[in-house]
């Protein structure tokens, strides 16, 4: 082969090298553009997130009302508590600790607050020391009485043998009587010391403020370090109570009825109550009593009304509307029971009938016993209580592919 041809093959092609070098930045720019596009998509379109729980419509099961007739009178009023107390101390003291908060449920006798009891603790220890001293004094007097009785017996024997005078005998006899009187006095002092200890124990116990009855704390009025007193001390620096407790079982309704229509109301008359906060929920009720006095300024008479069933949604001072029902005819032997639910909320029939109950944000299957239909609604005789929230349509539950314990979001 020609040497010149071999040398030409070993020579680098400058144009090809320049073309290769110029193509590398184009590849890098393309990769950077693709990465920027992906970042822009994630930033403005959003990262993939977990699927939100399906939304379902719910409804509250309503208690079946007895057929009592039409409303003969409507009135407005408020929810009141028959048992409500602002708990205070028996004596003035400094708050050391408060054990309750608003919304807490308490039981009778539960400790609500502790006052500073350092002085009363020392006074109790002093009373106990005085009691021990009285016991020791009584023991000493009894020993002295024994000695005096022995001296008297010896003097009496000597006097019988004419070895001691009558004066010695009388002196020893009086010593015995004096010691007996002293023992009686010390025994009384011992009783006083015991009563003093009881007083100091009671004062020490009064430093602990306890719940007079069970209920819910609706207001907390004192903090540690503040002074508290059973009476108003003026100046605004002394509290008169620790907290306010309401017995939720004593809630009832008070309404003012125009005196021109009071003849339509009578004791034990059936009624329905609708809270202003839940106007679509009719709660069964009955008249407790008509207060036997009228308000001349408003020309009204106050009427007390009880709730037939306890409902957690009823709170003190809520506004209500009351419908008094006509029911002077004979009542049925057994009032209907159960709750009303939409027919669409019930799945299955017979022993397999069930509804889906919503608690917090999860659903649970509840087997129910059904009664006779009432229009488009069904009467649930057992398995469901009034006030419980259920899925309004079982078809929506199936369409959402839900199961026992699944999480849901409420539409209403």
Please give the Cα distance from 171 to 154 (Å, whole number): 12
Q: What is the dihedral of CA 189, 195, 196, 202, to 10 degrees?
A: 170
Q: What is the mean pLDDT of residues 19-43?
A: 58
Query: What percent of the chain is predicted at pLDDT more than 70?
Result: 79
Nearest to residue 220, comparing CAs of 244, 247, 239?
Answer: 244
Which pLDDT belongs to residue 329? Answer: 46
Please give the Cα distance from 334 to 344 (Å, whole number): 28
Please give the Cα distance from 307 to 387 (Å, whole number): 14
Query: For residue 137, what is the enclosing H or E element?
Result: helix 118-160
For residue 210, pLDDT beyond 90: yes
Query: For residue 82, what is the enclosing H or E element?
Result: none
Q: Which pLDDT band holds residue 302 (cuts at 50, 70, 90)?
A: very high
Q: Which pLDDT band holds residue 80 (cuts at 50, 70, 90)?
A: very high
Q: For the beta carbon of residue 138, count every other beta carbon within 10 angstroms.
A: 17
Is the pTM of the predicted complex or chain greater than 0.85?
no
Candidates 3.60.10.10, 2.40.50.100, 3.90.76.10, 2.40.420.20; CATH matching 336-410: 2.40.420.20
Are 107 and 216 within 8 A, CB to CB?
A: no
Q: Average the pLDDT over each of 55-64, 267-276, 296-305, 382-391 and give the range with the smallest value.
A: 55-64
Q: What is the mean pLDDT of residues 172-190?
A: 89
Q: What is the 3-state secondary structure (H, E, C) of 4-41?
A: HHHHHHHCCCHHHHHHHHHHHHHHHHHHHHHHHHHHHH
Are 137 and 186 within 8 A, CB to CB?
A: yes
Topology (CATH level 3) of domain 84-116+207-246: OB fold (Dihydrolipoamide Acetyltransferase, E2P) (2.40.50)
Please name the CATH architecture into which domain 69-82+249-325 falls: Beta Barrel (2.40)
The interaxial angle of helices 118-160 and 166-205, nearest 10 deg, is 170
What's the chain's average pLDDT?
Answer: 81
Lookup: tokens for 185: 């006095």
Which pLDDT belongs to residue 275? Answer: 92
Please give the Cα distance from 227 to 208 (Å, whole number): 14
Are 303 and 80 within 8 A, CB to CB?
A: no
304-338 confidence digits (pLDDT tens): 999 998 888 899 999 999 999 986 444 444 445 67
97-128 confidence digits (pLDDT tens): 999 999 899 999 999 999 999 999 999 999 99
Please give the Cα distance from 388 to 345 (Å, whole number): 13
Environment class of 384 (CB within 10 Å of its CB; exposed 0-12, middle 13-18, buried 19+): buried
Please give the Cα distance from 303 to 332 (Å, whole number): 26
What's the first-to-final CA gap in the chain, in angstroms? 95
For residue 340, pLDDT beyond 50: yes
Please give the Cα distance from 241 to 231 (Å, whole number): 9
Please give the Cα distance from 330 to 69 (Å, whole number): 12
For residue 60, pLDDT beyond 50: yes
For residue 12, pLDDT beyond 50: no
Residue reference for tokens 């009563």: 195
Per the DSSP assignment, residues forming a β-bridge with 251 are: 81
Please give the Cα distance from 288 to 268 (Å, whole number): 6
Task: Provide the 3-class DSSP secondary structure of residue 213.
Answer: coil
State the DSSP code for 166.
H
For residue 50, pLDDT beyond 70: no
Residue ranges covered by each domain of the chain: 69-82+249-325, 84-116+207-246, 118-205, 336-410
Task: Provide the 3-class DSSP secondary structure of residue 145.
Answer: helix
Q: Average the pLDDT over each of 129-133, 275-279, 363-367 and give the range with the smallest value.
A: 363-367
The set of residues, in sequence order, having a beta carbon less than 8 Å from that of 10 and lying 6+ positions away, is none
For residue 395, pLDDT beyond 70: yes
Q: What is the dihedral of CA 43, 48, 49, 54, to 10 degrees?
A: 120
Which pLDDT belongs to residue 357? Answer: 82
Which pLDDT belongs to residue 258? Answer: 92
For residue 397, pLDDT beyond 90: no
Lookup: tokens for 379: 């009467």
State the DSSP code for 75.
E
Q: What is the mean pLDDT of residues 180-197?
A: 91
Distances in whole angstroms, Cα of residue 15 to Cα of each of 10, 11, 22, 187, 326: 15, 12, 11, 130, 109
Task: Provide the 3-class DSSP secondary structure of residue 125.
Answer: helix
224-249 confidence digits (pLDDT tens): 988 888 876 555 567 788 999 999 98
Query: For residue 246, what is the enclosing H or E element?
Result: strand 243-246
């Amino acid at each position: 082969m020609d040497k010149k041809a071999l040398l030409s093959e070993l020579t680098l092609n400058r144009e090809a090298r320049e073309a290769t070098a110029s193509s590398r930045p184009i590849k890098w720019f393309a990769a950077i553009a693709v990465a920027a596009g992906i970042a822009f998509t994630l930033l403005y379109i959003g990262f993939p997130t977990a699927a939100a729980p399906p939304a379902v419509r719910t409804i509250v099961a309503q208690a079946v009302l007895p057929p009592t007739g039409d409303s003969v009178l409507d009135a407005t009023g408020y929810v009141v508590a028959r048992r409500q107390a602002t708990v205070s101390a028996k004596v003035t003291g400094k708050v050391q600790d408060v054990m309750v908060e608003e919304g807490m449920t308490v039981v009778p006798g539960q400790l609500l607050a502790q006052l500073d009891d350092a002085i009363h603790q020392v006074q109790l220890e002093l009373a106990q020391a005085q009691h021990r001293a009285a016991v020791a004094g009584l023991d000493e007097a009894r020993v002295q009485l024994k000695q005096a009785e022995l001296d008297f017996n010896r003097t009496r024997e000597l006097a019988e043998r004419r070895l001691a005078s009558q004066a010695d005998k009388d002196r020893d006899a009086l010593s015995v009587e004096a010691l007996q009187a002293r023992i009686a006095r010390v025994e009384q002092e011992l009783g006083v010391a015991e009563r003093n200890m009881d007083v100091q124990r009671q004062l020490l116990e009064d430093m602990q403020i306890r719940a007079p009855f069970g209920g819910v704390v609706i207001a907390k009025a004192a903090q540690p370090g503040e002074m508290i007193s059973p009476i108003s001390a003026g100046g605004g620096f002394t509290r008169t109570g620790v907290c306010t407790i309401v017995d939720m079982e004593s809630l009832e309704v008070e309404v003012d009825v125009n005196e021109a229509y009071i003849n339509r109301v009578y004791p034990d008359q059936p009624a329905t109550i609708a809270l202003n906060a839940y106007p679509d929920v009719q709660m069964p009720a009955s008249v407790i009593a008509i207060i036997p006095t009228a308000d001349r300024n408003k020309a009204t008479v106050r009427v007390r009304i009880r709730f037939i069933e306890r409902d957690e949604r009823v709170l003190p001072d809520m506004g209500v509307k009351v419908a008094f029902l006509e029911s002077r005819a004979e009542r049925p032997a057994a009032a209907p029971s159960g709750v009303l639910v939409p027919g669409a909320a019930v799945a299955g029939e017979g022993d397999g009938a069930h509804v889906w109950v919503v608690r917090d944000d999860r659903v649970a299957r509840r087997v129910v016993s059904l009664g006779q239909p009432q229009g488009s609604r069904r009467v649930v005789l057992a398995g469901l209580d009034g006030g419980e929230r259920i899925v309004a349509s079982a078809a929506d539950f199936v369409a959402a592919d839900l199961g026992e314990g699944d999480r849901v979001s409420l539409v209403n």
